[in-house]
Structure 1
């Protein structure tokens, strides 16, 4: 069924079909027909199957051309980052850093595993099903080891320490990821480490779980879980694109603009907020869900607190930390 001119473009850009793929598709189709006619004229003995192969190659070439709105990514590259399974991502190499001691998520996981291994592979949960107070205290004591400690925050709102798991977002996040990743599970009032995970930990240490935890965080975990925003917009599918852009320039405002340009339909999902413009809401969600409670929880970046001068927002920059550079190596040839 063909798209009507004023319908939203089926490519998902958020633009009208006549303003997006209709023109480009028509131009591409006309150009391709000209190319094929030229090939046929120069090679009159080609069969229909051979001409179809030529057309297929032409289409592949078009899909591999860089797109300015994608910051130079081609449609093929973008499609891989948006829709491919975690283990089939291309144009990026994801590696386990040798030293994960400065990563809050991985350090908290190590504390959980150590506590279980000291007690035969499991330990008792609280009556609410949370991690025990002893472990929460140990995790709170780790704060000075993390880069986020350079920005002092009162304990009542600090996500990296707390008196119990309910008030300790980074620790709670880590425990939830460990369950999603299939490393630990709760049964009969106790947290257990799976037998296979115990063997992996004994052989490889905490590094054995970096990739499984990362996959759980980017594919399975609900990024809106810890915030008060009701918007269901799923930023997870853009995570690798956002990471690539932020790693290249470190500017929060530029990242928000690039996401809005590459995926303008996300602004339509942000249009229902009464007090914020769509771009402001998008920026808030990117900062809270992607930067604060993903990148910082993992120890990939630090970001200073929001500041205002004469009621004007001061643009925020992120500091890219070594663990991020060690974990992600991007290979974008058309940059």
Structure 2
């Protein structure tokens, strides 16, 4: 059945009209942002001129890059009986001090096992999802793709594969006890756009979480009123996943701590220049 021309025109107008809750993006642009994030029509794109100086400033990427080089050096890594990275390798990676863990730095916990540093654990798991590392019979080895990229020193392609796997495939919910829904991860590029628009001034997580919730209001339904309100739980979940374990891990923000440890209720975050060297954003 053919849709009448006037109805089709109205649908096109609505889908391509700016929406306030989408920060002026249209429903069509949001669709591309969510489901074709790296496609040609997406408002967020990788820059073509990402250089080594930029890559050197990305903490989680530096971890995974050194991790790949260790496997290249040692030919393989034998996992523990529980399937985790051995302590010796964890210590070697952590001692590079690309990304510090507050509890380890304060002596509250020690680096005994993989779960003691979720940043390294996340980098390791994402490398496998990205097709850079493979696991066979309790051993980790480089894939042919990773071997070639390391031999040709193609750091940019390693970063792109790793970043795309981290944002689109690695489950952010794996690192916390919040609902196994893609809160923060779905629409991560929307958060990048928010940070681009508002990040020049220090802002709390709540500032961004509120705007994210307006764009994706159904996420609040996954929280029940128990130890705190659904809104507080949602804001906290969004803050942990998007700011603590994404923006900070990739060096996109700095944090002005009010206490010894990060406090997502009071600390303020500000955008770094790094993000503009990685993304082209269609305002």
Q: TM-score range by the shorter chain?
A: 0.7 to 0.9
Q: Distance in 2 between matches of 1:315 and 1:259?
A: 18
Contact 1:253 1:315 in 2 (8 A): no
Taking the TM superposition and a 5 Å limit, the aligned residue runs for 1:1-335 are: 52-53=4-5, 55-84=7-36, 86-88=38-40, 90-95=42-47, 97-98=50-51, 99=53, 100-119=55-74, 121-143=75-97, 145=98, 153-156=105-108, 162-229=111-178, 231-235=179-183, 236-250=185-199, 251=203, 252-270=205-223, 272-305=224-257, 315-332=266-283
C-alpha displacement at 1:55, in angstroms?
4.8
Give CA-to-partner distance per residue, 1:233-290, whole Å, 9 cap, x none.
Answer: 31221211112112321322221111222222222222x1402112211110011111
Q: Distance in 2 between matches of 1:222 and 1:155?
A: 29
Contact 2:38 2:45 in 1 (8 A): no
Moved over 4 A (4+): 51-55, 148-153, 305-308
Secondary structure in 2 matching 1:66: coil
Contact 2:85 2:114 in 1 (8 A): yes
Contact 2:43 2:282 in 1 (8 A): yes
Contact 1:86 1:219 in 2 (8 A): no
Contact 2:127 2:133 in 1 (8 A): yes
Q: Distance in 2 between matches of 1:108 and 1:238?
A: 25
Matched residue pairs, number? 271
Secondary structure in 2 matching 1:102: coil
Contact 2:33 2:44 in 1 (8 A): no
Check 1:163–1:302 CA distance in 2 against 1; reply closer, same or farther (3 A cut): farther
Q: Distance in 2 between matches of 1:289 and 1:162?
A: 22
C-alpha displacement at 1:232, in angstroms?
2.3
Check 1:205–1:130 CA distance in 2 against 1; reply closer, same or farther (3 A cut): farther
Higher Cα Rg, which structure? 1
Contact 1:253 1:316 in 2 (8 A): no
> Is there any run of 5+ residues in structure 1 with no aligned partner, and where?
1-48
Q: Distance in 2 between matches of 1:138 and 1:207?
A: 24
Contact 1:106 1:206 in 2 (8 A): no
Secondary structure in 2 matching 1:302: strand
Q: Distance in 1 between matches of 2:232 and 2:258?
A: 14
> Normalising by the residue count of structure 2, what TM-score does the alignment of the two structures yield?
0.84
C-alpha displacement at 1:328, in angstroms?
1.6
Q: Distance in 2 between matches of 1:314 and 1:196?
A: 42
C-alpha displacement at 1:68, in angstroms?
1.4
Contact 1:123 1:191 in 2 (8 A): yes
Which one is further off, 51-60 or 250-259? Answer: 51-60
Q: Distance in 2 between matches of 1:150 and 1:232?
A: 25
